Chain A
Amino acid sequence: MQAAGTEEVRDIAVFFYFSLLNEKLAIEASRKVVIKFNNLLKRNPDLRRTATIIHITNQVWSQFHKKNSEQGVVALNKSRWILPENVDLGPWRQFRKESETNELLITIWSQILGYSHRDIANGLNVSEGTVNHRVGRSLRHLGAMYKLDALND
């Protein structure tokens, strides 16, 4: 049995950072997921780790999403969460505001964290086709924000 590694903790934290856009809640939710994940690993060391992380993060996110809605927009500490240069969070904020929950979470798992569609399907207990469809829809949605810029290129 091996507890959550650094890379897994990072993935969990990044997931909640981009899904909640609230540093404090992201850390709190990540802590909860890590505790749950480690407890599950103690009981069953042969778990599929990525699928399990997706399953737990999906559960915990629904709890913290309500808290986040009550708190509203919170300023982020850029010294602790360092984005690459020339990357603006504006389009992501807009996408997070306009997109559906399924699209938002699948985009993070699939495109930001790079999880495979099979793992996502196992973690959410849906088919891979469903995951493909949701990913395509979310990318079209996100791409619509860049369409005008792309026209100018």
Chain B
Amino acid sequence: MIESDFVKFDRKDYVPKHELSSFFGSQLLADYALGNLDPIRARLIEEKLRDDDNLATSLRALRHSINYCKSLGNIQLSNDVFVEIQEPNELVPRWGKWLNWKKWPTSFRWSSEALAISIFVAIVASLIPWKRFLYQFTLDQKWTIVEVKRDSPRGLKTEIDLADAVAAGGQRAAIPKGDEELTPEVPEPTNEPPAPSGKTSASPNVTGVDQVSVKPNTSEQLPTPQKGFVYRANIKLKNLDSVSPKIVSLIENLGGIKAGEVRLGWRKPDGSYFHFLIEEIRYEELKKQLLQYAPVNFTKDEHPRVIESGKMRIILWIEEIIEPTIEPTIAKPENNQNPRSESEVKPEKSPAPPAEPPPQ
């Protein structure tokens, strides 16, 4: 029977059959240096160290590092360090805990985040110059208040209720001019040709019109950049299709240049639209020429678009007078001398001018 080393195991007498390899020697060297190896392995290492110089050098280095660590462990601390560690300032950790944002309670943290974001948004919103944007927006909006005075056959005056105009967007009532200044006009268009107005467009003999351009109160307080002006005028004419080309040629002969995107005399269902630039010296002549067709009265309005000096921007709106298809039954005011016809007239229902008095 072969006696196995593992069966008859006695550490003191045990001698392994094989030598320790260099790899195992290097792996066990640290434990050998620290004294953690059992006597058998320690003896093997010692045998290996006699033959292997490289392993012996590694052992010296290991012992050197162990001694170095022990010498580091002999570091001495001054009393200040002990005092600083053992008597800590209680305020620092207490406040430090609350200053650390991540350690806040979740609900409080989210609430504070929401509050901070809302404050930030409010500050940004207050810093944005909203008035500047609103100013640009409101300059394009104009409210025109119109007062139409009409001579009725029985001396009754029919007026368009200004309350309607105010309700339509105006801020205050129009101030009528004197009778001698009243000219047949209709509300002027703004940038676009106006839509036909029920009362004004249907009444051919409008004797007095006054118009003012009312802007919202907000625009009065807004900063005013460099101002430009636009001149507006309105005319009512019959046979517009024949007159419109003449006015176009008149403007062009006076050196007028189309402004805007539409051509001169742009035809709309209820009128023609002229938007053009003309030199200031030709303005009087233009006005004089237009008077041949109808009384014209230009108004000067402020406008953000600035035109170069020496030129004027004019918007002329010519509204076509549509002949009533039903023969009028109301006499004209200047010929209204028949008391019988007065009793037959119902002026509030009749937008047409008074008719001729019956023959005697």
Chain A residues engaging chain B, CB cutoff 8 angstroms: 4, 6, 9-10, 12-14, 17-18, 27, 30-32, 34-35, 79-84, 87, 91-92, 107, 111-114, 132, 135-137, 139-140, 142-147, 149-151, 153
Contacts and interface: CB of A to CB of B under 8 A. Distances in A.
A31 B69 CA distance: 24
B61 A146 contact: yes
Given A9-B86, A111-B69, A81 B75 contact: yes
Interface stretch (B31-39, B260-268, B347-355): B31-39
Contacts, number: 113
Interface in B68-115: 68-78, 80-82, 84-86, 88, 93
A10 B61 CA distance: 28
A113 B81 contact: no
Interface residues of B, number: 35
A92 B70 CA distance: 12
Nearest to A112: B73
B253 interface: no
B65 A113 contact: no
B146 to A, nearest CB: 75
B31 A146 contact: no
Given A13-B81, A135-B34, A147 B57 contact: yes
Interface string B13-46: 0000000000000110111011010000000000
Q: Lowest 4 A-B CB distances belong to which pairs?
A: A136-B30, A111-B69, A143-B61, A150-B60
17 contacts: A13-B81, A34-B85, A80-B77, A82-B76, A83-B72, A84-B71, A84-B74, A87-B72, A114-B73, A139-B34, A139-B66, A143-B58, A143-B64, A145-B61, A145-B65, A146-B61, A150-B60
Given A81-B75, A142-B69, A9 B58 contact: no
A112 B78 contact: no
